[in-house]
Structure 1
């Protein structure tokens, strides 16, 4: 079987690897020069950065399986941390760390030991976790995350320091607009599963090297071809065959974002219903502010949560010490501050946002020197994800046209637009084509 994969992001690479495993002859077309799509390597001022900071979870079974398939060593390529939500050690700051104990004991002990939460907060969290398990981590009728938490009488402090930042990090959607069922699915497979599922995996390599580059190397040894800088302008159907340029294929995986998929699919017959689904997504940006300090600057932990209060100019939600996460200490002195659902922050001039984020770090860590980085770079991925809103209908991997399937983090599934959802969609797309006669 001869298959074209349009798009060399995580979904496209996952589909290509799965198809090659099934002995298909695979050709990947990626418009950019770098593989990875919306989770890729970028270069800035001679530095190798990412277009956004990511954390994977131990629950990401398909991603971890494919990483192993293409030869990525998990122990070498990830900083493996227990579940945690730790704030800079200011007075009253929350410090929640799950010990490496069997589930659910690890969460119970973490809650008992947590600092910065009073008895009412801890009882509220226990009440929510117990209730979510009892209802199978799913609502019959979806609602917002804010409404879900109100039903379980979560305290204002717990909402502010635990649930809101978790929702922003996982769904890239503010809790007042985020789907409770999507949020519950993430919690089910992390907090509600075996202890290792909640482990937080911080990539040591850049995002392109972590999987897409390794996948391309693996594909080359399995007879596949990967073209970068190769934008596909049109896909045409001829009976059971598909044409891309002068080449003909038995199947096609369209593994690009909805905005890029729509013009490829529009000329096909009966495309209107699918095009309407693709147009219904609301993009959500993610902004990463890189701040370079002297190489002696180092946080006490690999990353911290930050309380964002835009009214005070505090936009950052998490800060990562790149020197601790990168191999051989590369990136020493560089801090990466994440702003999820960053539309308002991204509208600021980049220099102003970088200055505000640096001032926030100086304030919360009590170190005035952090207000003056020697170099900064603001990177905004404007269409990093889609808003995971209640009741959002996402398109299936299968399409009305035999031999053409979709792959992407926006396709039907329980997860939000994460790397795991992208990989799962690629695996599902490959399975659909693999079942064709």
Structure 2
């Protein structure tokens, strides 16, 4: 009897979880090694030691869309009830004082056309120009020159369309401002949202803490199948050993690096210097989340889009009470700043105060809001810029990379991470011939 493949997955974020689960399903003997004390990577929940509703905070607010099929399928395979885990609605951009574009249910292309034509806050000419531009993207197969930015791609659209729709979607999907963001990657996200079938453009807002969406169910699922899950362990060295690999002197037949690009570059510097240099050159965009507390208050919708400006850092606000179970998060609000490098430079305390001032100007409150916590994920995503050369999945024979930063059509999203993890597992366990 042929023994199962011994496979190590280094890194327990969403890519590493997807790789470990997929490899386990394919019959491999999996060891999952994570340097932090918990799984989840950059999409996890943090115990704060504070009282509810802030006893547990996510290190950032994450939105999925209906087109993220692999992420949703993975959660279901781990026993997550998607109806309980998410508030799912057709795409809706609600602003504090007015309703933004919203798409009705139905086939994506028809829904998009109906939603745009029905949106009376834009002049008819602006709506027609958006539909004409979208038709042009469709005719060109949602492709454009690789050097184009989102700002360049949409330069012919009216200012109201760019401000109310393009810029919020761009920063939400790519975490990169439209002036610097890759138009080709942005078009890929639009393609999948509009062509992946009914509901592909739906917004899925998490009702549960992030760790309960994937990390905790995955850890339980893996350990129930005798997978070796090692937390708080940082791998120091990789080396070749015959046809396999040594991970700190422990032998494995196959190896998947699902850690950050920075950590992967460190581990591969001597094994494959060119790959390590490419991974190390990636630039990053931070995300800041400002948590406010205002007992008795609610927002006009569970998620609001906000107009960004020099004195208005946040682009989105979330009413965690409307999203939480049984009102246990009532009075808790998360304001999100994507592409937040300039605000990181100004300091988290100053940024929190500026968000508080923005919230007071733009929203009505039942009680004076106060800052509860300001969290920054300084390497939240790679900067998704035009012509970016991302490192390939294969580093060396038997050594794969998995992460949202490896070559692929998606920006640094949860879906990109999950797909990369699954692809690495399939390649690692591919039968010869």
Which segment drifts farther, 259-268 or 39-48? 39-48
Partner deviation per Cα, 1:226-249 (whole Å, 9 max, x = no partner):
111111111111111211234211
TM-score, normalisation: structure 2:
0.95
Matched, 1:299 2:305: no
Runs of 4+ in 1 over 6 A off after TM superposition: none
SS in 2 for 1:347: helix
Structure 2 partner of 1:388? 384
Structure 2 partner of 1:377? 373
Instruction: Give the drift of 1:99.
Output: 1.2
**How many residues are treated as equivalent by the alignment?**
424
Partner deviation per Cα, 1:191-225 (whole Å, 9 max, x = no partner):
34423100111111111221121111111122211
Matched, 1:73 2:68: no
Structure 2 partner of 1:103? 108
Trace 1:123-142 onto structure 2 (pairs within 5 A). Answer: 123-142=128-147
Q: In structure 1, what is the Cα distance between the partners aligned to 2:389 and 2:238?
A: 25
Cα–Cα, structure 1 residues 280 and 246, in superposed 2: closer, same or farther, change >3 Å?
Answer: closer
Instruction: Give the drift of 1:142.
Output: 3.7
Trace 1:82-93 onto structure 2 (pairs within 5 A). Answer: 82-89=90-97, 93=98
Structure 2 partner of 1:434? 429
Instruction: Give the drift of 1:326.
Output: 1.8
Trace 1:241-390 onto structure 2 (pairs within 5 A). Answer: 241-268=244-271, 271-294=272-295, 296-310=296-310, 313-365=311-363, 367=364, 372-390=368-386
SS in 1 for 2:106: coil
SS in 1 for 2:375: strand
Instruction: Give the drift of 1:140.
Output: 4.5
Q: In structure 1, what is the Cα distance between the partners aligned to 2:195 and 2:130?
A: 13
Partner deviation per Cα, 1:356-378 (whole Å, 9 max, x = no partner):
2122122112x2667x4244211
SS in 2 for 1:3: strand
Q: In structure 1, what is the Cα distance between the partners aligned to 2:348 and 2:301?
A: 27
Q: In structure 1, what is the Cα distance between the partners aligned to 2:93 and 2:211?
A: 27
> What runs of 5+ residues in structure 1 fail to find an aligned partner?
none
SS in 1 for 2:376: strand
Please say if residues 34 and 41 of structure 1, whose CA atoms lie closer than 8 Å, have aligned partners that are also in contact: no
SS in 1 for 2:219: helix
Please say if residues 96 and 115 of structure 1, whose CA atoms lie closer than 8 Å, have aligned partners that are also in contact: no
TM-score, normalisation: structure 1:
0.94
Instruction: Give the drift of 1:404.
Output: 0.8
Structure 1 partner of 2:36? 32
CA RMSD after TM alignment: 1.5
Partner deviation per Cα, 1:303-343 (whole Å, 9 max, x = no partner):
11000111xx1111000001111222221111101100001
Structure 1 partner of 2:190? 187
Please say if residues 167 and 173 of structure 1, whose CA atoms lie closer than 8 Å, have aligned partners that are also in contact: yes
Structure 2 partner of 1:398? 394
Q: In structure 2, what is the Cα distance between the partners aligned to 1:104 and 1:299?
A: 30
